[in-house]
Amino acid sequence: MSNVLSFAPRNTISPAGFDAISAMFADQRRARGDVFWLKENAEWLGILASMSADISDLALEPYGAFYDGVRTQLQFFPQYYRFYLSICLDLEDLGAGGTQGEALCHWVAAQGLVEAELSDLQRAEAARLLARRGVQTKCHAAALGDRLQSFIARSETFVLPNKKAAYELAHIIFYLSDYGRQDPALSPETLTSLEYAGLLAFLDQDIDLLSEICAALRFAGVVPSPIWERLVVQAHTSCTMIGGAAGATDAYHGYLVTGWLAHLTDRPAFNHAIPAGQVTIQGAMAGQGALRGLSECLFELGSKRLPDWPRMRRSLFPDLSGVEQTVIAQAEQSSPKFDAFFQGFSRACSGAMTSLA
């Protein structure tokens, strides 16, 4: 983590490729109306809406029919209301469609759909969507913000591998910052949480998660490690589009978030060649990481585990592969908080567990 960012508007980039990508997500991957279609297109349009770029009418044209029929769709499939609202509001904010988004937000609030959510993260996403058109629900007065802040400020959570928690951390920052449109005013503890989550993602070479952590740091006004961002941008460059139906190994989400981060760092993004017909996305979204090997070595040490990284480094490195050693060395260089991170990650024996009857 390095220099502090300002929140001045970013330079615009060439919109070349946006039209083709919209057409691909709208018509070349999933059946329209399918929940996976909704998810992919909501994510793509959300990224477009967060960009400081000129978006042509052609990039929004594939969604005209969806916008015209969104009321009917939402009424019959209210369980997907967050997808419908997200796509509708982003299209309007990008300059397409009309003003029906406000009416849909009021309808969602009146139906109590937000109150049906079990997860605070989903409630936070819904609250942000409704707030975009000035609509509030009971969730706004239910200490939701306090619970979210408490979760993201507990740095101890993010020294241990837990992808669900790490993704939730990043998404909460997205909502609090309105995707970079406002300063989320994060506490030092929360910035530490992001740093620890980024270290875990880097050790695991989980490029998808690392992209989101880097974006969250930038929305918090902080420049992430250049070592992390360089890996993300390289992964985006390596993506390819090939013919065929999208399957379980499709890398669409990694493609989107790595491209998003590349754009945030003023690097070329979303300019890959797209074939005709059905399209699946491939990419080097994850390399050989060191997280598993490091964890296994620590576990085998048992009571000999120590929270002192310099001492443990000498003990652990001979049992790790050359690739694992390289990844760990890069992780050390990437963050001044690596030693503090390792204190929690080591799970050194304190005696409290052994004293239990």
Which residues are 242's β-sheet partners?
A: 280
Q: Which residues of 276-285 are buried (b: 16+ CB within 10 A; e: fewer)?
A: eeebbbbbbb
DSSP 255-317: HHHHHHHHHHTT---S-----SSSEEEE---B---SHHHHHHHHHHHGGG--S-HHHHHHHHG
User: What does the alpha-carbon distance between residue 258 and residue 236 come to, in Å, rounded to a whole number?
Assistant: 5
**pLDDT tens digits, residue range 36-77?**
999 999 999 999 999 878 888 999 999 999 999 999 999 999
SS3 content of the chain, % helix, strand, coil (to 5): 60, 5, 35
Rounded Cα–Cα distance for residues 207 and 149 (Å):
26
Helix or strand (DSSP H, E) at 241: strand 240-243
C-alpha–C-alpha distance, residues 143 and 140, integer Å: 7
Q: What's the pLDDT tens digit per position in 233-275?
A: 999 999 999 999 888 789 999 999 999 999 999 999 999 999 9
253 three-state secondary structure: helix
CA dihedral 228, 230, 233, 238 (to 10 degrees): -110
Whether residue 213 contacts residue 163, with contact meaning beta carbons closer than 8 Å, is answered with: no
Pairwise CA distance, residues 114 & 118, whole Å: 9
Give dist(CA 216, CA 193) in Å, integer: 11
Strand partners, 4: 222
**Does residue 353 carry a pLDDT above 80?**
no
User: What is the average pLDDT across 71-84?
Assistant: 98
pLDDT of residue 352: 55
Q: Which CATH number fits domain 18-282: 3.30.750, 2.60.40, 1.50.10, 1.10.3470?
A: 1.50.10
Residue 111 has φ and ψ, to the nearest 5°, of -80, -10
- Cβ neighbors of 65 (< 8 A, separation 6 or more) are none
Token reading at 55: 């978006």
d(CA 72, CA 77): 9
> Which pLDDT band holds residue 11 (cuts at 50, 70, 90)?
very low
Across the strands, what pairs with 251? Answer: none
351 pLDDT band, cuts 50/70/90, is low
pLDDT category at 9 given cuts 50, 70, 90 is very low
**Across-strand partners of 239?**
none
Tokens of 301: 């040490």
- Predicted confidence (pLDDT) per residue in 164-213, tens digit: 999 999 999 999 999 999 999 999 999 999 999 999 999 999 999 999 99
Confidence grade of residue 121 (pLDDT, cut at 50, 70, 90):
very high
CB 216 within 8 A of CB 169: yes
CB–CB of 73/84 below 8 Å?
yes
Amino acid in position 100: Q
Cα–Cα dist 28/113, whole Å: 31
Residue with tokens 């945030």: 264
Of the chain, the percentage scoring pLDDT greater than 90 comes to 84
- Sorted by where each begins, the domain ranges of the chain are 18-282, 297-345
Phi and psi angles of residue 41, each rounded to the nearest 5 degrees, phi first: -75, -30
